[in-house]
Chain A
Amino acid sequence: MIRVVHYINQFFGQIGGEEKAGTTPGIVEGAVGPGMLIDRLLVERGRVLATIICGDNYFSENPEHVAAEILPLIEAYTPDLFIAGPAFNAGRYGIACGEMCKCVKEKLGIPAVTGMFPENPAVGLYRRHVYIIETAHTAVGMAKAMPKIIDLGWKLLHHERPGTPREAGYLPRGIKETVAADTLASERAIALLLRKMRGESIETEIPFPELDLVAPAPPIADLKGATIALVTEGGLVPKENPDSIESARATRWGKYSVDELRELGCQRFSSIHRGFDTTYINEDCNRLLPVDVLSDMERRGLFKGIHPFFFVTTGVATTIDNARNIGKGIAAELSDAGVSGAIVAAT
Protein backbone atom coordinates (compact mmCIF):
# COMPACT_ATOMS: atom_id res chain seq x y z
CA MET A 1 0.00 0.00 0.00
CA ILE A 2 1.79 3.12 -1.11
CA ARG A 3 1.66 6.19 1.09
CA VAL A 4 0.79 9.38 -0.74
CA VAL A 5 0.84 12.98 0.44
CA HIS A 6 -1.05 15.50 -1.70
CA TYR A 7 -0.62 19.28 -2.02
CA ILE A 8 -3.49 21.53 -3.14
CA ASN A 9 -4.36 25.23 -2.94
CA GLN A 10 -7.07 27.02 -0.97
CA PHE A 11 -9.60 26.66 -3.77
CA PHE A 12 -9.29 22.90 -4.32
CA GLY A 13 -8.91 22.56 -0.57
CA GLN A 14 -12.43 24.02 -0.26
CA ILE A 15 -11.30 26.87 1.98
CA GLY A 16 -12.25 29.64 -0.41
CA GLY A 17 -11.36 31.58 -3.52
CA GLU A 18 -9.09 34.57 -4.08
CA GLU A 19 -10.08 36.10 -0.76
CA LYS A 20 -8.39 33.12 0.93
CA ALA A 21 -5.27 33.11 -1.21
CA GLY A 22 -3.23 34.31 1.76
CA THR A 23 -4.04 31.16 3.79
CA THR A 24 -1.02 29.77 5.61
CA PRO A 25 -0.19 26.09 5.11
CA GLY A 26 -2.15 23.47 7.03
CA ILE A 27 -2.35 19.71 6.92
CA VAL A 28 -5.49 17.57 6.96
CA GLU A 29 -5.72 13.80 7.44
CA GLY A 30 -6.74 11.86 4.36
CA ALA A 31 -7.77 13.12 0.95
CA VAL A 32 -9.50 16.41 0.17
CA GLY A 33 -11.15 17.42 -3.10
CA PRO A 34 -9.12 16.08 -6.05
CA GLY A 35 -7.23 13.84 -3.61
CA MET A 36 -10.34 11.69 -3.44
CA LEU A 37 -9.85 10.93 -7.11
CA ILE A 38 -6.31 9.81 -6.28
CA ASP A 39 -7.74 7.40 -3.70
CA ARG A 40 -10.33 6.09 -6.15
CA LEU A 41 -7.72 5.52 -8.84
CA LEU A 42 -5.22 3.88 -6.52
CA VAL A 43 -7.87 1.49 -5.13
CA GLU A 44 -5.97 -1.12 -3.10
CA ARG A 45 -2.56 0.02 -4.26
CA GLY A 46 -2.32 3.00 -1.95
CA ARG A 47 -3.97 5.92 -0.21
CA VAL A 48 -3.63 9.65 0.35
CA LEU A 49 -2.59 9.82 3.99
CA ALA A 50 -2.58 13.58 4.28
CA THR A 51 -3.32 16.71 2.28
CA ILE A 52 -1.41 19.98 2.55
CA ILE A 53 -3.55 23.03 1.77
CA CYS A 54 -1.92 26.42 1.27
CA GLY A 55 -3.00 29.76 -0.20
CA ASP A 56 -1.60 30.61 -3.63
CA ASN A 57 -0.53 34.13 -2.67
CA TYR A 58 1.11 33.03 0.58
CA PHE A 59 3.15 30.45 -1.34
CA SER A 60 4.06 32.28 -4.51
CA GLU A 61 5.23 35.46 -2.79
CA ASN A 62 8.02 33.49 -1.10
CA PRO A 63 8.23 30.03 -2.67
CA GLU A 64 11.47 28.63 -1.28
CA HIS A 65 10.77 29.82 2.22
CA VAL A 66 7.25 28.41 2.31
CA ALA A 67 8.33 25.11 0.77
CA ALA A 68 10.86 24.75 3.60
CA GLU A 69 8.06 25.54 6.05
CA ILE A 70 5.84 22.80 4.60
CA LEU A 71 8.48 20.10 4.17
CA PRO A 72 8.46 18.81 7.78
CA LEU A 73 4.68 18.38 7.59
CA ILE A 74 5.16 16.04 4.62
CA GLU A 75 8.14 14.28 6.13
CA ALA A 76 6.16 13.32 9.21
CA TYR A 77 4.00 11.01 7.09
CA THR A 78 7.00 9.21 5.48
CA PRO A 79 5.25 9.11 2.11
CA ASP A 80 6.35 7.00 -0.84
CA LEU A 81 4.94 9.42 -3.39
CA PHE A 82 4.12 13.13 -3.45
CA ILE A 83 1.51 14.61 -5.78
CA ALA A 84 0.86 18.33 -6.21
CA GLY A 85 -2.22 19.86 -7.88
CA PRO A 86 -2.62 19.54 -10.81
CA ALA A 87 -2.45 23.29 -11.31
CA PHE A 88 -3.78 23.46 -14.90
CA ASN A 89 -3.19 27.02 -16.12
CA ALA A 90 -3.12 28.74 -12.72
CA GLY A 91 0.25 30.50 -12.53
CA ARG A 92 0.65 30.95 -8.78
CA TYR A 93 -0.68 27.47 -8.09
CA GLY A 94 1.78 26.19 -10.68
CA ILE A 95 4.66 27.86 -8.85
CA ALA A 96 3.51 26.22 -5.62
CA CYS A 97 3.16 22.76 -7.18
CA GLY A 98 6.47 23.03 -9.02
CA GLU A 99 8.42 24.28 -6.01
CA MET A 100 6.86 21.69 -3.66
CA CYS A 101 7.67 18.83 -6.04
CA LYS A 102 11.22 20.09 -6.53
CA CYS A 103 11.75 20.48 -2.80
CA VAL A 104 10.29 17.06 -1.94
CA LYS A 105 12.31 15.33 -4.64
CA GLU A 106 15.57 16.98 -3.62
CA LYS A 107 15.22 17.00 0.16
CA LEU A 108 13.19 13.84 0.80
CA GLY A 109 14.35 11.83 -2.20
CA ILE A 110 10.90 10.54 -3.06
CA PRO A 111 9.18 10.78 -6.45
CA ALA A 112 7.03 13.86 -6.95
CA VAL A 113 4.63 14.54 -9.82
CA THR A 114 2.38 17.42 -10.75
CA GLY A 115 0.35 18.54 -13.78
CA MET A 116 0.04 21.83 -15.69
CA PHE A 117 -1.25 23.32 -18.90
CA PRO A 118 1.75 23.87 -21.22
CA GLU A 119 1.43 27.68 -21.12
CA ASN A 120 1.43 27.89 -17.34
CA PRO A 121 4.35 30.25 -16.55
CA ALA A 122 5.54 27.79 -13.90
CA VAL A 123 6.31 25.21 -16.59
CA GLY A 124 9.34 27.18 -17.73
CA LEU A 125 10.58 27.43 -14.15
CA TYR A 126 10.16 23.81 -13.13
CA ARG A 127 10.06 21.46 -16.11
CA ARG A 128 13.74 20.62 -15.84
CA HIS A 129 13.45 19.73 -12.18
CA VAL A 130 10.10 18.06 -11.92
CA TYR A 131 7.81 15.77 -13.94
CA ILE A 132 4.83 17.83 -15.09
CA ILE A 133 2.00 15.91 -16.74
CA GLU A 134 0.40 17.92 -19.54
CA THR A 135 -3.13 18.92 -18.66
CA ALA A 136 -6.01 20.90 -20.11
CA HIS A 137 -6.46 24.58 -19.40
CA THR A 138 -8.86 24.11 -16.45
CA ALA A 139 -10.10 21.52 -13.96
CA VAL A 140 -12.32 20.17 -16.70
CA GLY A 141 -9.23 18.10 -17.48
CA MET A 142 -8.90 16.63 -13.98
CA ALA A 143 -10.29 13.19 -14.80
CA LYS A 144 -7.94 12.84 -17.76
CA ALA A 145 -4.84 14.15 -16.01
CA MET A 146 -4.91 12.41 -12.65
CA PRO A 147 -4.56 8.81 -13.95
CA LYS A 148 -1.45 9.89 -15.89
CA ILE A 149 -0.05 11.58 -12.79
CA ILE A 150 -0.56 8.40 -10.77
CA ASP A 151 0.81 6.14 -13.51
CA LEU A 152 3.97 8.21 -13.79
CA GLY A 153 4.33 8.39 -10.02
CA TRP A 154 3.93 4.61 -9.80
CA LYS A 155 6.66 4.05 -12.40
CA LEU A 156 9.06 6.43 -10.68
CA LEU A 157 8.37 4.84 -7.33
CA HIS A 158 9.15 1.38 -8.71
CA HIS A 159 12.26 2.62 -10.51
CA GLU A 160 10.77 1.83 -13.91
CA ARG A 161 11.67 3.95 -16.91
CA PRO A 162 9.16 6.79 -17.11
CA GLY A 163 9.08 6.66 -20.91
CA THR A 164 9.30 9.58 -23.30
CA PRO A 165 7.15 12.69 -22.81
CA ARG A 166 4.85 11.49 -25.55
CA GLU A 167 4.49 8.01 -24.06
CA ALA A 168 3.85 9.09 -20.48
CA GLY A 169 2.13 12.43 -21.14
CA TYR A 170 4.53 14.75 -19.34
CA LEU A 171 5.88 18.04 -20.69
CA PRO A 172 9.33 17.78 -22.28
CA ARG A 173 11.95 18.45 -19.66
CA GLY A 174 14.69 19.67 -21.93
CA ILE A 175 16.79 16.73 -20.81
CA LYS A 176 18.49 14.72 -23.50
CA GLU A 177 18.71 11.02 -22.93
CA THR A 178 21.10 8.89 -24.92
CA VAL A 179 19.38 5.92 -26.51
CA ALA A 180 20.62 3.48 -29.12
CA ALA A 181 18.79 3.90 -32.42
CA ASP A 182 18.41 1.39 -35.24
CA THR A 183 19.58 3.82 -37.89
CA LEU A 184 22.48 6.24 -38.05
CA ALA A 185 21.89 9.90 -37.25
CA SER A 186 22.92 10.82 -40.80
CA GLU A 187 20.27 8.50 -42.23
CA ARG A 188 17.61 9.90 -39.94
CA ALA A 189 18.58 13.48 -40.76
CA ILE A 190 18.35 12.88 -44.51
CA ALA A 191 15.02 11.09 -44.12
CA LEU A 192 13.72 14.04 -42.10
CA LEU A 193 14.92 16.54 -44.71
CA LEU A 194 13.31 14.57 -47.54
CA ARG A 195 10.01 14.48 -45.63
CA LYS A 196 10.22 18.22 -45.10
CA MET A 197 10.92 18.85 -48.78
CA ARG A 198 7.94 16.70 -49.74
CA GLY A 199 5.74 18.76 -47.43
CA GLU A 200 5.07 15.79 -45.17
CA SER A 201 4.68 16.09 -41.43
CA ILE A 202 7.96 16.09 -39.57
CA GLU A 203 9.05 15.82 -36.00
CA THR A 204 12.41 17.23 -35.05
CA GLU A 205 14.51 15.16 -32.68
CA ILE A 206 15.83 18.28 -31.01
CA PRO A 207 13.42 21.22 -30.76
CA PHE A 208 15.06 24.62 -30.49
CA PRO A 209 14.23 26.26 -27.15
CA GLU A 210 11.93 29.25 -27.43
CA LEU A 211 13.73 32.09 -25.79
CA ASP A 212 12.22 35.48 -26.27
CA LEU A 213 15.07 37.71 -25.19
CA VAL A 214 14.64 41.40 -25.80
CA ALA A 215 17.71 43.61 -25.61
CA PRO A 216 17.17 46.23 -22.91
CA ALA A 217 16.09 49.58 -24.32
CA PRO A 218 18.63 52.37 -23.74
CA PRO A 219 18.11 54.13 -20.41
CA ILE A 220 16.52 57.58 -20.14
CA ALA A 221 19.40 60.03 -20.43
CA ASP A 222 17.70 62.99 -18.79
CA LEU A 223 14.92 62.16 -16.34
CA LYS A 224 13.99 65.81 -15.86
CA GLY A 225 12.92 66.03 -19.50
CA ALA A 226 11.19 62.65 -19.54
CA THR A 227 7.55 61.68 -20.01
CA ILE A 228 6.58 58.56 -18.09
CA ALA A 229 3.66 56.32 -19.04
CA LEU A 230 1.75 53.97 -16.77
CA VAL A 231 0.78 50.52 -17.98
CA THR A 232 -0.83 47.64 -16.13
CA GLU A 233 -2.11 44.11 -16.60
CA GLY A 234 -4.19 44.54 -13.46
CA GLY A 235 -7.43 45.10 -15.34
CA LEU A 236 -8.16 48.58 -13.88
CA VAL A 237 -10.90 50.02 -16.10
CA PRO A 238 -13.79 52.49 -15.85
CA LYS A 239 -16.63 50.80 -14.00
CA GLU A 240 -18.76 50.30 -17.10
CA ASN A 241 -15.78 48.70 -18.90
CA PRO A 242 -16.51 50.61 -22.10
CA ASP A 243 -14.01 48.64 -24.18
CA SER A 244 -15.26 45.27 -22.92
CA ILE A 245 -11.85 44.14 -21.79
CA GLU A 246 -12.07 40.52 -20.74
CA SER A 247 -11.60 39.50 -17.08
CA ALA A 248 -9.41 36.63 -18.20
CA ARG A 249 -7.93 35.37 -21.47
CA ALA A 250 -7.79 38.98 -22.66
CA THR A 251 -7.58 39.86 -26.31
CA ARG A 252 -8.03 43.61 -25.86
CA TRP A 253 -6.48 46.57 -24.12
CA GLY A 254 -7.73 50.05 -23.32
CA LYS A 255 -6.38 53.50 -22.61
CA TYR A 256 -7.90 55.82 -20.05
CA SER A 257 -7.36 59.27 -18.63
CA VAL A 258 -4.71 59.67 -15.93
CA ASP A 259 -6.42 62.93 -14.84
CA GLU A 260 -9.63 61.02 -14.18
CA LEU A 261 -7.72 58.32 -12.32
CA ARG A 262 -6.02 60.95 -10.18
CA GLU A 263 -9.19 62.90 -9.44
CA LEU A 264 -11.79 60.15 -9.19
CA GLY A 265 -9.81 57.01 -8.41
CA CYS A 266 -11.97 54.13 -7.22
CA GLN A 267 -15.19 56.07 -7.72
CA ARG A 268 -14.61 55.79 -11.43
CA PHE A 269 -12.33 52.78 -11.87
CA SER A 270 -12.23 49.22 -10.63
CA SER A 271 -10.32 46.08 -11.46
CA ILE A 272 -12.01 43.36 -13.49
CA HIS A 273 -9.04 40.99 -13.17
CA ARG A 274 -10.24 37.52 -12.20
CA GLY A 275 -6.87 36.11 -11.19
CA PHE A 276 -6.48 37.69 -7.77
CA ASP A 277 -8.48 39.35 -5.00
CA THR A 278 -9.01 42.92 -6.21
CA THR A 279 -10.35 44.25 -2.88
CA TYR A 280 -7.27 46.26 -1.90
CA ILE A 281 -6.80 47.80 -5.31
CA ASN A 282 -10.47 48.70 -5.50
CA GLU A 283 -10.14 50.49 -2.15
CA ASP A 284 -7.26 52.57 -3.45
CA CYS A 285 -6.20 52.44 -7.09
CA ASN A 286 -2.83 53.93 -6.19
CA ARG A 287 -1.92 50.48 -4.88
CA LEU A 288 -1.77 49.41 -8.54
CA LEU A 289 -1.08 52.61 -10.46
CA PRO A 290 0.85 55.06 -8.26
CA VAL A 291 -0.69 58.25 -9.65
CA ASP A 292 -0.55 60.08 -6.30
CA VAL A 293 3.17 59.61 -5.82
CA LEU A 294 4.02 60.16 -9.48
CA SER A 295 2.01 63.39 -9.53
CA ASP A 296 3.91 64.66 -6.47
CA MET A 297 7.18 63.86 -8.20
CA GLU A 298 6.03 65.59 -11.37
CA ARG A 299 5.18 68.71 -9.38
CA ARG A 300 8.63 68.61 -7.77
CA GLY A 301 10.19 68.53 -11.22
CA LEU A 302 11.77 65.05 -10.99
CA PHE A 303 10.57 64.40 -14.50
CA LYS A 304 8.68 66.40 -17.11
CA GLY A 305 5.31 64.76 -17.08
CA ILE A 306 3.06 61.72 -16.85
CA HIS A 307 1.69 60.61 -20.20
CA PRO A 308 -2.01 61.61 -20.12
CA PHE A 309 -3.27 58.07 -20.74
CA PHE A 310 -2.63 54.86 -18.87
CA PHE A 311 -2.84 51.52 -20.65
CA VAL A 312 -4.65 48.49 -19.34
CA THR A 313 -5.23 44.85 -20.04
CA THR A 314 -5.92 41.79 -17.90
CA GLY A 315 -3.09 39.39 -17.29
CA VAL A 316 -4.66 36.10 -16.31
CA ALA A 317 -4.61 33.04 -18.56
CA THR A 318 -3.64 35.33 -21.42
CA THR A 319 -2.32 33.29 -24.33
CA ILE A 320 1.23 34.08 -25.39
CA ASP A 321 0.06 35.25 -28.81
CA ASN A 322 -2.56 37.60 -27.39
CA ALA A 323 -0.13 38.94 -24.80
CA ARG A 324 2.34 39.75 -27.58
CA ASN A 325 -0.30 41.47 -29.72
CA ILE A 326 -1.60 43.49 -26.80
CA GLY A 327 1.95 44.44 -25.86
CA LYS A 328 2.77 45.44 -29.42
CA GLY A 329 -0.38 47.58 -29.63
CA ILE A 330 0.43 49.44 -26.43
CA ALA A 331 4.11 49.78 -27.36
CA ALA A 332 3.19 51.31 -30.72
CA GLU A 333 1.05 53.97 -29.04
CA LEU A 334 3.79 54.79 -26.55
CA SER A 335 6.26 55.06 -29.37
CA ASP A 336 4.02 57.34 -31.45
CA ALA A 337 3.45 59.54 -28.42
CA GLY A 338 7.19 59.91 -27.81
CA VAL A 339 7.02 58.54 -24.27
CA SER A 340 10.47 58.31 -22.62
CA GLY A 341 9.83 55.42 -20.25
CA ALA A 342 7.13 53.15 -18.93
CA ILE A 343 6.20 51.78 -15.53
CA VAL A 344 4.38 48.46 -15.86
CA ALA A 345 2.54 47.40 -12.72
CA ALA A 346 1.68 43.72 -12.51
CA THR A 347 -0.32 41.74 -9.99
Chain B
Amino acid sequence: MLEKEIERVGIPAVLITALIPTAKMLHANRIVPGIAITNPLGDPKVSLAEEKTLREKIVVSALDLLTKEPGEAAD
Protein backbone atom coordinates (compact mmCIF):
# COMPACT_ATOMS: atom_id res chain seq x y z
CA MET B 1 0.00 0.00 0.00
CA LEU B 2 2.60 2.56 1.14
CA GLU B 3 4.91 1.82 -1.78
CA LYS B 4 2.09 2.31 -4.28
CA GLU B 5 1.23 5.74 -2.90
CA ILE B 6 4.91 6.70 -3.16
CA GLU B 7 5.10 5.43 -6.73
CA ARG B 8 1.91 7.31 -7.50
CA VAL B 9 3.76 10.61 -6.95
CA GLY B 10 6.55 9.48 -9.28
CA ILE B 11 9.14 8.26 -6.77
CA PRO B 12 10.26 4.65 -7.32
CA ALA B 13 9.66 2.55 -4.22
CA VAL B 14 10.68 -1.03 -3.51
CA LEU B 15 8.80 -3.19 -1.02
CA ILE B 16 10.81 -5.63 1.08
CA THR B 17 8.52 -8.27 2.54
CA ALA B 18 8.36 -11.98 3.32
CA LEU B 19 4.72 -12.09 2.18
CA ILE B 20 5.27 -12.22 -1.56
CA PRO B 21 1.82 -13.52 -2.60
CA THR B 22 0.16 -10.66 -0.73
CA ALA B 23 2.53 -8.08 -2.27
CA LYS B 24 1.78 -9.41 -5.75
CA MET B 25 -1.94 -9.52 -5.12
CA LEU B 26 -1.88 -5.89 -4.04
CA HIS B 27 0.05 -5.10 -7.24
CA ALA B 28 3.20 -3.65 -5.70
CA ASN B 29 5.46 -2.84 -8.63
CA ARG B 30 8.88 -3.48 -7.14
CA ILE B 31 9.24 -6.32 -4.63
CA VAL B 32 12.26 -7.90 -2.95
CA PRO B 33 11.71 -10.98 -0.75
CA GLY B 34 12.36 -10.39 2.95
CA ILE B 35 13.77 -13.14 5.15
CA ALA B 36 10.82 -13.61 7.52
CA ILE B 37 7.83 -11.74 8.89
CA THR B 38 9.51 -11.13 12.24
CA ASN B 39 12.84 -10.14 10.68
CA PRO B 40 12.58 -9.01 7.07
CA LEU B 41 16.16 -7.79 6.93
CA GLY B 42 17.86 -9.99 9.47
CA ASP B 43 18.20 -13.54 10.74
CA PRO B 44 18.56 -14.12 14.48
CA LYS B 45 19.74 -17.68 13.84
CA VAL B 46 23.06 -16.65 12.29
CA SER B 47 26.02 -14.59 13.46
CA LEU B 48 25.96 -10.81 13.28
CA ALA B 49 28.51 -10.84 10.46
CA GLU B 50 26.40 -13.28 8.44
CA GLU B 51 23.31 -11.20 9.15
CA LYS B 52 24.97 -8.10 7.80
CA THR B 53 25.96 -9.97 4.66
CA LEU B 54 22.35 -11.15 4.17
CA ARG B 55 21.08 -7.66 4.84
CA GLU B 56 23.50 -6.17 2.36
CA LYS B 57 22.37 -8.60 -0.34
CA ILE B 58 18.74 -7.61 0.15
CA VAL B 59 19.54 -3.89 0.16
CA VAL B 60 21.64 -4.26 -2.99
CA SER B 61 18.69 -5.99 -4.69
CA ALA B 62 16.39 -3.24 -3.49
CA LEU B 63 18.59 -0.43 -4.77
CA ASP B 64 19.04 -2.31 -8.03
CA LEU B 65 15.26 -2.52 -8.51
CA LEU B 66 14.97 1.21 -7.91
CA THR B 67 17.24 1.79 -10.89
CA LYS B 68 15.27 -0.50 -13.22
CA GLU B 69 11.81 -0.75 -14.70
CA PRO B 70 9.90 -3.54 -12.95
CA GLY B 71 10.09 -6.69 -15.04
CA GLU B 72 13.58 -5.98 -16.36
CA ALA B 73 15.83 -8.98 -15.92
CA ALA B 74 16.87 -9.34 -12.29
CA ASP B 75 20.58 -9.36 -11.36
Residues of A bordering B, CB below 8 Å: 21, 57, 60-61, 63, 91-92, 95, 121-122, 124-125, 211-221, 223, 226, 228, 231, 233-234, 276-281, 283-284, 286-290, 292-294, 296-297, 302-303, 313, 315, 318, 320, 323-324, 326-328, 330-332, 334-335, 339-347
Contacts across chains A and B counted by CB atoms under 8 Å: 207
Ranked nearest first, the 4 interchain pairs of A and B with the lowest CB-CB distance are A327-B5, A287-B42, A341-B66, A216-B29
- With A125-B21, A223-B67, A332-B9 known as contacts, the answer to whether A61 contacts B37 (CB < 8 A) is yes
Whether A217 lies near B10 (C-beta < 8 A) is yes
Contacts of A215 in B (CB 8 A): 7
Considering the chains assembled together, what is the distance between the CA atoms of A283 and B42 in angstroms? Answer: 11
Assuming A219-B67, A287-B41, A293-B56, what are 4 further A-B pairs, CB within 8 angstroms? A217-B7, A313-B2, A335-B9, A335-B11
Whether B9 lies near A344 (C-beta < 8 A) is no
Q: How far is the CB of B44 from chain A (nearest CB, A)?
A: 5
Whether B26 lies near A121 (C-beta < 8 A) is yes
Whether B2 lies near A217 (C-beta < 8 A) is no
Contacts of A218 in B (CB 8 A): 10, 12, 69
**Size of the chain B interface, CB-CB below 8 angstroms:** 49
Whether B12 lies near A293 (C-beta < 8 A) is no
Whether B40 lies near A288 (C-beta < 8 A) is yes
Whether B4 lies near A327 (C-beta < 8 A) is yes
Minimum CB distance partner of A336 in chain B: B9
Residues of B bordering A, CB below 8 Å: 1-19, 21-23, 25-27, 29-30, 34, 36-42, 44, 51-52, 55-56, 58-59, 62-63, 66-70
Q: How far is the CB of B40 from chain A (nearest CB, A)?
A: 6
Whether B6 lies near A57 (C-beta < 8 A) is no
